[in-house]
Amino acid sequence: MTTTVNPYLDGNFAPVRTEIVGEDLPVKGEIPPDLCGIFVRNGPNPQFAPIGQYHWFDGDGMLHGVEISNGKAHYRNRYVQTKGWQTEHESGRAIWSGLLEPPKMDNPHGAYKNVANTALVWHDGRLLALWEGGEPYQIKVPELETLGSYTYGDQLKTPFTAHPKVDAVTGEMMFFGYSPFQPPYLYYSLVSAEGKLVKTVPIDLPVGVMMHDFAITEHYTLFMDLPFTFRPERARRGEPVMGFEPESPSRFGIVPRHGDNSSIRWFESPACYVFHTLNAYEEGDEVVLLACRMNRTNVLSDSVDETTLDAPGIDVDERSHASSPRLYEWRFNLKTGAVIEKPLDDIASDFPRVNEQHLGRATRYGYTARISPQPMPLFDGLIKYDLLSDRSQVHEFGKGRYGGEAVFVPRPGATAEDDGWLLTFVHDQVENTSELVIVNAQDITAQPVAQIKMPQRVPYGFHGVWIAQG
Ligand SMILES: [Fe+2]
């Protein structure tokens, strides 16, 4: 298979190059009057034509924000102006190549560019744009201006995952940083509710692995040491340095929230890969993990075509292909050491989210983006899982319309876990326009309650956040 145009620089994967503001956007339906705040989504948007092969993960971070109040919506998009973005901006061209090219160790600006393009977290009144290989960037709200890298008063000495976990009850934020080649390969950190980085402890792993996400419960933190490894000896043989090892076990480490490497307990199950967890919680002697599990991954292979076929959940034939992510449950028994894993669905989906007011506690509902059976990572609907009754419902975006991760926004004053809305950008391929879609989470098969038309196309991206007003 040959590719003339990189599919990740084409269609609605292609970057937009203008940073604009759009006031009082047209709305189909009605924006709920009690929905007040700002929705911000991060994603890759290369500032310049790339050097060499381009991977979807390479693009400079761009934030798309929709501010909503009193039934009206306003849009703005801004690059995350990282140090690398600024250096390339001043040069007027790309300086760094991407993940599919060998790193240029002699680059005076560093071998890799922190693109801050993956996700966002709101903690202690501060918005951070995240990339798992480096430090966070602080973003001014609602302007979406980059204030600079944020290192907790110089206390941060490790990379910072794109998926930190905030405990809504205690206000604490847990995060980790992994290092592909340097033992101990993993560091675990905790930020207090007051925004102070109170501890960073090493966690021993046998070898460096790509660790994209983790999970918390009320008392524990759960790490996934999955066999997608970094081995320098592969590079010496002329192979990609990253590889999936189907014969190796998946290891799950459970550590008390305030514990360290001496108190971690490891559980094993067959080889798999997980990009994203939905949630985890404690039940009796068990720690329960819910996540989107793949039998294997090759997401950072050196071939764009292979990447296209093996990226999260991409499957050309059917939604239930073996390498596509599906919602799974693991039960780790802290008393007996037993592990039970089982699929909760055979439909492929990823980008799982819950009502984060309940993160780390048992949740009845989970929301994922359903994967469209096509070569590219396109999401054609949202799935709402009722984990209590073992049932699911689907919100279809409609023919030729694709979205992404939906963020759950609780209705102010809500008592029911699913009383709120799901927000996601949807692109219409025929019209080549984008909308922010607002779906009633208690009635997800219905038409969206509001479709807010964006003043320009919003490229497909990664993760978003909702920041409630006030
Ligand atoms: Fe992610």
**pLDDT tens, position by position, 14-49:** 999 999 999 999 999 999 999 999 999 999 999 999
Rounded CA separation 271/248 (Å): 6
Per-residue pLDDT, 341: 97
Cα-to-centroid distance, 335 and ligand 1 (Å)? 32
CA–CA dist 312, 205 (Å, integer): 24
Query: Looking at residue 223, what is its pLDDT?
Result: 98
pLDDT at position 104 is 75
The rounded Å distance from CA 255 to ligand 1 centre is 22
Whether the pLDDT of residue 318 is over 50: the answer is no
Tell me how far apart the alpha carbons of residues 426 and 423 are, in angstroms, rounded to a whole number: 10
Residue 445 banded pLDDT, cuts 50, 70, 90: very high
Q: For residue 99, what pLDDT is reported?
A: 87
The yes-or-no verdict on residue 302 having pLDDT over 80 is: no
Q: Provide the token pair at 211.
A: 């660790």
Measured in Å, residue 303 CA sits from the centre of ligand 1 at 21
| Gap from CA of 377 to ligand 1 centroid (Å) | 14
Average pLDDT score over the chain: 93
pLDDT in tens, 156-174: 999 999 999 999 999 999 9
HSE-up of 156 (CA within 13 Å, CB side)?
Answer: 22
Residue 68 CA to residue 76 CA, distance in Å, equals 12
* DSSP characters over 442-459: TSTTSPPSEEEEPSS---
For the chain, percent of residues with pLDDT exceeding 70: 94
- Distance in Å, CA 33 to ligand 1 centroid: 31
Contact of 314 with 306, CB cutoff 8 Å: no
Return the pLDDT at 321: 58
Q: How far apart are the first and last CA of the chain?
A: 52
The whole-angstrom separation of Cα 315 and Cα 322 is 9
* Residues of the chain above pLDDT 90, percent: 86
Instruction: Grade residue 306 by pLDDT with cuts at 50, 70 and 90.
Output: very low
Tokens of 123: 């903690």
User: Ligand 1 mean position to 65 CA, how many Å?
Assistant: 18
Report the separation in Å between the CA atom of 265 and the middle of ligand 1, taken as the mean of its atom positions: 25
Residues 37 and 31 sit within 8 Å (Cβ to Cβ): no
Measured in Å, residue 20 CA sits from the centre of ligand 1 at 26
283 three-class SS: strand
**How buried is residue 51: exposed, middle or buried, by Cβ count under 10 Å (0-12/13-18/19+)?**
middle
Q: Is the pLDDT of residue 315 over 50?
A: no
Please report the pLDDT score of residue 100 as a whole number.
86
Q: What is the pLDDT of residues 42-82, one digit of tens each?
A: 999 999 999 999 999 999 999 999 999 999 999 999 999 99
Q: Strand pairing of 339-343 and 119-123?
A: unpaired
Which residues does 310 contact at the CB level (< 8 Å), separation at least 6?
A: 296, 297, 298, 299, 301, 323
Distance 29 CA to ligand 1 centre (A): 31
Backbone angles phi, psi at 305, to 5 degrees: -65, -45
- In the reported structure, the alpha carbon of residue 224 is separated from the centroid of ligand 1 by a whole-number distance in angstroms of 14
CA of 341 relative to ligand 1 center, distance in Å: 22
Distance (angstroms) between ligand 1 centre and the Cα of 177 equals 14
Taking the centre of ligand 1 as the mean of its atom positions, its distance from the CA of residue 95, in whole angstroms, is 25
Q: Which pLDDT value is given to residue 320?
A: 46
For ligand 1, the distance from its centroid to the CA atom of residue 41, given in whole angstroms, is 12
> How large is the average pLDDT for residues 297-301?
71
d(CA 4, CA 135): 35
119 Cα: distance to centroid of ligand 1 (angstroms): 7
Three-class SS state of 60: coil
Q: Does residue 305 register a pLDDT over 60?
A: no
CA dihedral of 202, 207, 213, 217, whole degrees rounded to 10: -50
Per-residue pLDDT tens for 336-360? Answer: 999 999 999 999 999 999 999 999 9
Q: What is the pTM assigned to this prediction?
A: 0.94
Give the pLDDT score at 299.
73
Give the mean model confidence (pLDDT) for residues 291-309: 65
The answer to whether residue 87 scores a pLDDT higher than 50 is yes
Ligand 1 centre to CA of 299 (Å) is 13
Give the pLDDT band (50/70/90) at residue 311.
very low
Q: Are 321 and 274 in contact (CB under 8 A)?
A: no
Q: What is the structure's pLDDT at 313?
A: 43
Please compute the mean of the pLDDT values over residues 361-384 and round it to a whole number: 96
Q: What angle do CA 152, 202, 287 make, to 5 degrees?
A: 100
Is residue 408's pLDDT more than 60? yes
What's the 430 CA to ligand 1 centre distance in angstroms?
Answer: 28
